[in-house]
């Protein structure tokens, strides 16, 4: 290990100490969590006006737990497909997620003021939003998986989370775009930020030079572990997409997401068997493309897309993802020298762009006959302005919070604007961050160290053979071949 690695622990503690100081000066409990306010207290001994029928914890904790599982188990295990990088995939996922949940709360606080002299009120919703923001970083992690040091990942996370928060604020509060499932602000941003960082770091150029790396591959057991992540993500994705909406919007989001996932799963299996050389299922497709329906439906998940529409979106998402893994990913490496370890462009990037386009279309065709007055809750910017003539024609509209008086076409345009701006900020931010991470003091890894746990982890003695150099073995006919030991099985590389 290089000498610069010895300082990583000290740097990590310094970052944590800085966050603690900022929390002490800027953050406090939300009123629903304060012992003195009693706003969320359901103790029958208290006067009735102290109690709420539904406090925020009971409403949001179930989906918070689901999203929590996705972030710390789903993403972590999905990245264990590399046969020599399981410790790092799960371990670094845990580290950068735990750190950036805290950092995201602080970054978000700059745009969402708290009460009193504190700038940030922390509630279960705050933690849920922080988990969703952290998902964008973990998507970016997938693009550079196996090719970055822990210090590089920490720095990338601090920069990306700050940019993520700014972009989300711009899209949601300035453009007033609707993206309930986070397909634009989480998936598109995370994917293209990670791709930009990987391109700037030069991973693709390094890997494409000379023979391929034998460690960049899976084993039977590592693929099974990765499927654990796939199944957890697939099961809990309806909670991810519906986490920040309520009422009938949340109900639709769960239904649409689940239906989209089912159609996507079937499509991914079908296309995988059609495009693969042996006309069999490709585990890479099954681990990843089966999830693309959750991304593709995200922006429109709570809109009136109807069940058949959700199924169509799932088919489109699954098809696009399989095509990406089978054709586009290799073309990126050969033509652009862009290396994407997990294929985040195929699972999160392209399906996320598709979701943004579908969301714009659905916003453009949304009418009051479809939604009733909830149209103006779904798209608050479409509510009439304070002195609009619409209010005089329909007195019920006076009950709404005044909006910007946008037309359906205006809202669709702002949806596309949010998507385009997100792409620009993500790519530019990723490129700049990648160039920052190339500074020699940050201990850029060499090609020989890629995709190998042993550079950063103490490896148990019983599996150290997994990380050894090739063994030369003489066969009966006198030929000498290279062999490796993986998963306690001797594999002849000449086969």
Higher pLDDT, 295 or 466: 295
pLDDT band, residue 474 (cuts 50/70/90): very low
The C-alpha atoms of residue 423 and residue 185 are separated, in whole angstroms, by: 9
Residues 475 and 326 in one domain: no
The C-alpha atoms of residue 76 and residue 88 are separated, in whole angstroms, by: 9
On whether residue 451 sits in a domain, the answer given is no
pLDDT band, residue 124 (cuts 50/70/90): very high
Q: Is residue 485 within 8 Å of 491, Cβ to Cβ?
A: yes
Q: Out of 139-143, 203-207, 251-255, 412-416, which region has the weakest mean confidence (pLDDT)? A: 203-207
The C-alpha atoms of residue 232 and residue 394 are separated, in whole angstroms, by: 47
Residues 46 and 100 in one domain: yes
The C-alpha atoms of residue 161 and residue 167 are separated, in whole angstroms, by: 10
Mean pLDDT calculated for residue range 335-345:
95
On whether residue 116 sits in a domain, the answer given is yes
The C-alpha atoms of residue 345 and residue 83 are separated, in whole angstroms, by: 22
CB atoms closer than 10 angstroms to residue 439: 11
pLDDT band, residue 416 (cuts 50/70/90): very high
User: Does 106 score more than 70 pLDDT?
Assistant: yes
Q: Is residue 197 within 8 Å of 431, Cβ to Cβ?
A: yes
pLDDT at 489: 43
The C-alpha atoms of residue 106 and residue 112 are separated, in whole angstroms, by: 10
Mean pLDDT calculated for residue range 421-433:
98
pLDDT at 112: 74
Residues 358 and 481 in one domain: no
Percent of the chain with pLDDT over 90: 70
On whether residue 453 sits in a domain, the answer given is no
Range of the domain at 486: 467-495
pLDDT band, residue 491 (cuts 50/70/90): very low
Residues 150 and 204 in one domain: yes
Q: Return the structure tokens found at 66.
A: 């689901």
pLDDT at 248: 94
Q: Return the structure tokens found at 381.
A: 């910017």
How many Å is the maximal CA-CA distance in the chain? 95
Q: Out of 276-280, 348-352, 491-495, which region has the weakest mean confidence (pLDDT)? A: 491-495
pLDDT band, residue 44 (cuts 50/70/90): low
Residues 35 and 92 in one domain: yes
Q: What's the pTM value of the predicted model, to 2 decimals? A: 0.89
The C-alpha atoms of residue 243 and residue 180 are separated, in whole angstroms, by: 8
Cα–chain center distance at 136: 4
Q: Out of 112-116, 159-163, 265-269, which region has the weakest mean confidence (pLDDT)? A: 112-116
Give tens-digit pLDDT for 243-278: 999 999 999 999 999 999 999 999 999 999 999 989
Q: Is residue 465 within 8 Å of 62, Cβ to Cβ?
A: no
Residues 354 and 471 in one domain: no
User: Does 362 score more than 70 pLDDT?
Assistant: yes
Distances (CA, A) of 114 to 69, 126, 357, 490: 28, 11, 34, 60
User: Does 479 score more than 60 pLDDT?
Assistant: no
- Residue 342 belongs to domain with CATH number: 1.10.3430.10
Q: How many domains does the chain have?
A: 2
User: Does 492 score more than 50 pLDDT?
Assistant: no
On whether residue 141 sits in a domain, the answer given is yes
pLDDT at 435: 95
Residues 187 and 147 in one domain: yes
User: Does 192 score more than 70 pLDDT?
Assistant: yes
On whether residue 414 sits in a domain, the answer given is yes
């Amino acid at each position: 290990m290089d000498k610069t690695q010895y300082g990583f622990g000290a740097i990590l503690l310094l970052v944590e100490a800085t966050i603690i100081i900022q929390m002490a000066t800027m953050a406090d409990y939300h009123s629903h969590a304060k012992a003195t306010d009693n706003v969320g207290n359901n103790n029958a001994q208290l006067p009735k006006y102290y109690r709420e029928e539904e406090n925020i914890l009971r409403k949001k904790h179930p989906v918070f737990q689901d999203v929590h599982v996705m972030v710390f188990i789903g993403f972590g295990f999905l990245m264990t497909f590399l046969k020599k990088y399981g410790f790092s995939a799960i371990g670094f996922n845990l580290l950068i997620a735990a750190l950036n949940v805290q950092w995201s709360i602080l970054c978000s606080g700059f745009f969402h003021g708290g009460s009193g002299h504190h700038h940030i009120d922390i509630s279960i919703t705050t933690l849920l939003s922080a988990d969703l923001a952290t998902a964008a970083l973990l998507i970016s992690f997938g693009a550079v998986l196996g090719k970055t040091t822990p210090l590089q990942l920490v720095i990338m996370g601090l920069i990306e989370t700050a940019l993520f928060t700014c972009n989300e604020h711009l899209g949601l509060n300035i453009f007033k775009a609707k993206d309930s499932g986070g397909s634009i602000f989480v998936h598109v941003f995370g994917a293209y930020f990670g791709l930009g960082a990987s391109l700037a770091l030069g991973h693709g150029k390094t890997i494409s030079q000379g023979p391929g790396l034998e460690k960049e591959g899976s084993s039977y057991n590592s693929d099974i572990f990765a499927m654990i992540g796939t199944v957890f993500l697939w099961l809990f994705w309806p909670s991810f997409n519906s986490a920040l909406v309520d009422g009938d919007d949340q109900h639709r989001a769960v239904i649409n997401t689940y239906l989209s996932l089912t159609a996507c799963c079937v499509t991914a299996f079908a296309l995988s068997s059609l495009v693969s050389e042996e006309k069999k299922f490709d585990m890479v497709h099954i681990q990843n493309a089966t999830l693309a329906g959750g991304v593709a439906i995200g922006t429109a998940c709570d809109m009136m897309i109807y069940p058949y529409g959700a199924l169509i979106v799932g088919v489109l998402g699954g098809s696009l993802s399989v095509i990406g893994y089978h054709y586009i990913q290799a073309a990126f490496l050969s033509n652009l020298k862009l290396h994407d370890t997990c294929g985040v462009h195929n699972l999160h990037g392209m399906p996320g762009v598709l979701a943004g386009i579908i969301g714009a279309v659905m916003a453009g065709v949304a009418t009051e006959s479809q939604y009733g007055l909830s149209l103006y809750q779904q798209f608050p910017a479409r509510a009439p302005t304070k002195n609009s003539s619409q209010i005089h024609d329909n007195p019920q509209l006076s009950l709404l919070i005044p909006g910007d008086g946008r037309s359906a076409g205006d809202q669709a345009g702002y949806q596309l604007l949010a998507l385009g701006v997100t792409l620009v900020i993500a790519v530019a931010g990723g490129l700049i961050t990648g160039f920052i991470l190339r500074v020699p003091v940050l201990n850029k890894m060499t090609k020989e160290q890629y995709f190998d746990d042993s550079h950063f982890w103490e490896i148990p003695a019983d599996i150290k053979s997994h990380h050894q150099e090739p063994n030369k073995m003489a066969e009966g006919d006198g030929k000498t071949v290279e062999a490796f030991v993986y998963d306690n099985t001797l594999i002849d590389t000449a086969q």
